[in-house]
Chains A and B, each alone.
Chain A
Amino acid sequence: MSLNLAVNPANQHSLQSADFIFAVVVHIVVIATIVILTWWQSISKPEPLNRIEVTMISGAELAKLQNQTSLKPKKTKAKPVVKFDPTPAKKTQVKEVEDNFDPFAPMESQSDITTPKQASRNDMADIMGKQLSEKELDRYIAMMQQAVQLKWKVPAGVDSSIPDPLVEMVLRRNGSVFSATIVESSGNSALDRTLIKAIHAAAPFKLPQQQFEAFRVNQIRFRPLK
């Protein structure tokens, strides 16, 4: 069957002409699309881009801003009181429709949602402030980790049965070591010594000045190869 189809010249011819017609139609469609798009582009003038300024603010500033916004509902709260007089209320309604109506102005119904209290907003700001700095904290910890690891010289193998030692490191504000003490010993005083040495060799550490208190006391668990 397939052999006959391939040999038949009539069949071959009709197949070729169909291909040709299809190709022409495709070309016409593509050219037409380009022309229409170009025309549409020329009539719709792009609006000038609005500039949006993004600035980073501190947690305290954020709290301040949120306190300001929380004042707005207080103002709108007054409106329902005015509503007691029916006639001015009607007037205002008419004015709103006729005069320059701002669709983005806060709707009156929003004034009903006044549940958030000032205190909780401050809490939120606090949490946000912490979340912002958490990544920073992690970065400083990673730097400390790397510094100590680089300076930790283990010259020989240790017994697999020893526990992983824990060291408490107290830092000064300038990142230098105030004290480094073994909290949980490995049982091998020579190995314990390498830990204290690694900490002293890695100092001074780079610390965030505002959040130094978070880094004053550090506990490092050393994991020797076993």
Chain B
Amino acid sequence: MRLLLLLLLITSPTTLFAVEFDVYQSGYRPLNIALVVKSSDEQQSKKQQLYSVVKNDLLSSQSFKTLDPLSFIADTESTLKQIDYADWRIIGADLVTTCQLTEVDQKWQAEVMVYDPFRSKQLASKTFIRDANKFRVLSHQVSNFIYKTVIGVHGHFNSHILFVKKHGDKSDLIYMDQDGANRQTVGKNFTLLLSPDWDPNGRFVALNTYVGNRPRLETFDMTTGKRSAFGSFKGLNSTPEYSPDGRYIAAALSYTGNTEIHIYDVKKGTWRQFTRHPGIDTTPTWSPDGEWIAFTSNRNGSPQIYRKRLSGGKAERISLEASYNTSPVWAPHGDRIAFITLKNWEYALATVHIDGTGLRYLATGKRIESPSWSPNGQMLLYSAGNRGLRRTYRIPAWGGKAEPITPANIDASDPAWSR
């Protein structure tokens, strides 16, 4: 825990009648939320389903703690009719959310309200309607609405995750919702499958695979399952990443005799070389405004992270600590870069401001690899070794607890969060 730093008042006579002081944030604390869901008696199972999806979403963000319904003083009926704030204050609820669930013409309707009992105020209300087969989407929408109202940032609960499942010599591409539901194999039996990256529209995946023992870059159409190669040069073809507008793919190629960052124009089908340096340049990542590319380079002897403008200019070094820094991934808000580093001789996941300040370690362990941001920049995924098998973990980007999101009995690596 960080200590409170004191900054005391200015005592000149002119400011005597206005005390000024600073309050420093000491850490992050979840908010206590009471979820009140109501439906007709015949729809109890649907009500329970919505409740558990929303509860799980909010808990997984580590920004909320849901209060046990057994501790509620007020009953559901009266709360939905006219909320009595005192009843919720007394049980320590920072927030109360009510949700009236009804079925209208084979569609589900959720009427959501968020209250602040402390200030006796309704914060927001909204009604969502979805087809019956999109009930989970509806539930995640409720979570997103609560999250946006309370945190001020869009929720990531309707996003999806891809990861690579390796079995023997073959690899499969697995798709699932961010909460692990709807898990399915979308691409089968790749000869090695590395660093998949989602295009901004969520239809194509750029990936690095092998044909025989020759690496090549492919796009994979998630709707048709069609694979098409776009980079199969002599030597190394690796680590593709889509630009924020989906027009370009940056990747590391070595056909020039040295590994450099090249950029592929998806529309024109042409390549151009981006970096020119005797050192090895690899793992490119785009800034959200599309004006910079950050990458790993050993140009000064050890692998470090640099960034360079698309329009040219000198590469600026970002990582300042440790002798090993790789796999940069630019945050969706643009303010930070996540990367893999070394901390006390252990691999670590860390983030840093783009000027190299504000280094923040998030997790340490064996074989920590492949960081990936949630679309709202609040969470990170990474894979880590677990007795030979790797597992994919999720951790809040501001710190907190790492939680596995893939089963322990499969090798799950190279996670990619949808944008």
Contacts and interface: CB of A to CB of B under 8 A. Distances in A.
B128 interface: no
B30 A155 contact: yes
Contact of B398 (A157, A197, A201, A219): A157
B17 A193 contact: no
Nearest to A189: B152
Contacts of B397: 157
A214 B19 contact: yes
A161 B23 CA distance: 18
Contacts of B17: 213-214, 216-217
B19 A219 contact: yes
B10 to A, nearest CB: 11
A56 interface: no
Interface stretch (B1-9, B231-239, B314-322): B1-9
A62 interface: no
Contacts of A225: 2, 25, 27-28, 398
Pick the most buried of A144, A160, A213: most chain B CB atoms within 10 A of its CB: A160
Contacts of A217: 17-19
Contacts of A215: 19
B118 A197 contact: yes
Given A137-B11, A145-B4, A197-B119, 17 more contacts: A149-B4, A155-B28, A156-B378, A156-B398, A159-B335, A160-B358, A161-B333, A188-B152, A190-B153, A197-B94, A198-B23, A200-B119, A214-B19, A217-B17, A223-B23, A223-B25, A225-B398
Interface of A: 134, 137-138, 141-142, 144-146, 148-149, 152-157, 159-161, 188-191, 193, 196-198, 200-201, 213-226
15 contacts: A137-B19, A144-B21, A155-B30, A156-B61, A156-B398, A197-B118, A200-B119, A213-B17, A217-B18, A219-B18, A219-B19, A223-B24, A224-B25, A225-B27, A226-B358
Interface of B: 2, 4, 6, 8-9, 11, 16-31, 61, 63-64, 94, 116, 118-119, 149-153, 333, 335-336, 353, 358, 378, 396-398
Closest 3 CB pairs of A and B: A190-B152, A157-B398, A155-B63
